[in-house]
């Protein structure tokens, strides 16, 4: 009875020691899977996911190397784990998100450019114990489309146009000049108004003074007496 109870535990320990299975669920013994199409805006970033399968248990795998190519199936390499390599067109823009002993991950491309629009292929090199190194690659890869960068909405500077003010034929309009309008400040408008009022008062005062002077002279001439000894010449 005790052995029957221990048997499931022993099977569980054996499976854990062997490691998780990475066998393919398809008809292929080796396979790399990628999405067929992806798109991302210029200036942004994108992650191209991948996964791979093979007939060996992870515990029997000695090493795994991930590389990436672009443009075509036999195109240039743009990334390699060992030895470390990044294509000059992707310097400081590529990173591989992958954990050792894992059969999936993603390639991240940052600061996307229009020139990055292309096909991308993940290639896996695997060396099992007591076996030669195996290599297989995704086909047809992932078609990456670069879309236009989103437009940034910017708010324009506030308008500095001031309401029009008219004073004695002078038109004042902020930031607008013509033959009939001058940009004057509020202080200048006040000065013009005060000066015009004073000028009118001065002219009115002069007119009043002159009229008073004239009326006074007429009254003086009317009241003056005739001089003694003077006589009008007699008519012939």
DSSP assignment of 178-232: BTTB----HHHHHHHHHHHHHHHHHHHHHHHHHHHHHHHHHHHHHHPPPPTT--P
In angstroms, rounded to a whole number, what is the distance separating the alpha carbons of residues 61 and 132?
11
Q: For residues 200 and 162, which has the higher predicted lDDT (pLDDT)?
A: 200
User: Measuring CA to CA, how many Å separate 40 from each of 43, 47, 107, 119, 138?
Assistant: 9, 9, 14, 14, 21
pLDDT reported for residue 69: 95
- % residues pLDDT > 70 (the chain): 65
pLDDT reported for residue 174: 46
Closest by alpha carbon to 51, among 15, 74, 25, 79? 25
In angstroms, rounded to a whole number, what is the distance separating the alpha carbons of residues 236 and 233?
9
Do the beta carbons of residue 52 and residue 98 sit within 8 Å? no
User: Virtual CA dihedral for 174, 175, 181, 187, nearest 10 degrees?
Assistant: 50
| DSSP three-state, residue 175 | coil
Residue 55: phi and psi, rounded to 5, are: -85, 0
Residue 47: phi and psi, rounded to 5, are: -115, 125
Closest by alpha carbon to 90, among 71, 66, 116, 69? 116
| DSSP three-state, residue 48 | strand
**Residue 104 region by backbone torsions, left for phi larger than 0, else alpha for psi between -120 and 50, else beta:** beta
Q: State which of 12-16, 23-27, 70-74, 208-212 shows the largest mean pLDDT.
A: 70-74
**Residue 49: how many other CB atoms lie within 10 Å:** 15
* Mean per-residue pLDDT, 130-146: 88
pLDDT reported for residue 29: 75
Q: For residues 5 and 115, which has the higher predicted lDDT (pLDDT)?
A: 115
Q: Global pTM?
A: 0.55
Provide the pLDDT confidence category of residue 187 given band limits of 50, 70 and 90: low
Range in 139-143, 147-151, 190-194, 229-233 the model is least confident about = 229-233
pLDDT reported for residue 106: 95
């Amino acid at each position: 009875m005790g052995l029957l109870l221990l048997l499931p535990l022993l099977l569980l320990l054996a499976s854990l020691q062997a490691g998780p299975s990475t066998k393919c669920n398809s008809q292929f013994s080796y396979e790399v899977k990628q999405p067929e199409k992806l798109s991302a805006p210029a200036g942004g970033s994108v992650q191209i996911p991948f996964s791979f399968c093979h007939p060996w248990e992870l515990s029997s795998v000695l090493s795994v190397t991930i590389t990436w190519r672009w443009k075509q199936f036999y195109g240039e390499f743009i990334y390699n784990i060992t030895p470390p390599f990044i294509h000059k067109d992707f310097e400081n823009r590529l990173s591989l998100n992958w954990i050792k002993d894992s059969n999936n991950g993603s390639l991240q491309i940052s600061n996307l450019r229009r020139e990055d629009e292309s096909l991308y292929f993940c290639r896996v090199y695997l060396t099992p114990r007591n076996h030669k190194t195996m290599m297989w690659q995704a086909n047809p890869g992932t078609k990456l489309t670069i879309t236009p960068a989103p437009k940034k909405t910017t708010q324009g500077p506030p308008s500095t146009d001031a309401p029009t003010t008219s004073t004695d034929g002078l038109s004042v309009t902020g930031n607008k000049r013509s033959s009939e309008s001058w940009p004057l400040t509020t202080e200048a408008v006040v000065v013009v108004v005060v000066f015009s009022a004073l000028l009118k008062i001065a002219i009115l005062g002069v007119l009043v003074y002159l009229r008073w002077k004239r009326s006074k002279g007429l009254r003086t001439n009317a009241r003056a007496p005739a001089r003694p000894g003077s006589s009008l010449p007699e008519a012939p």
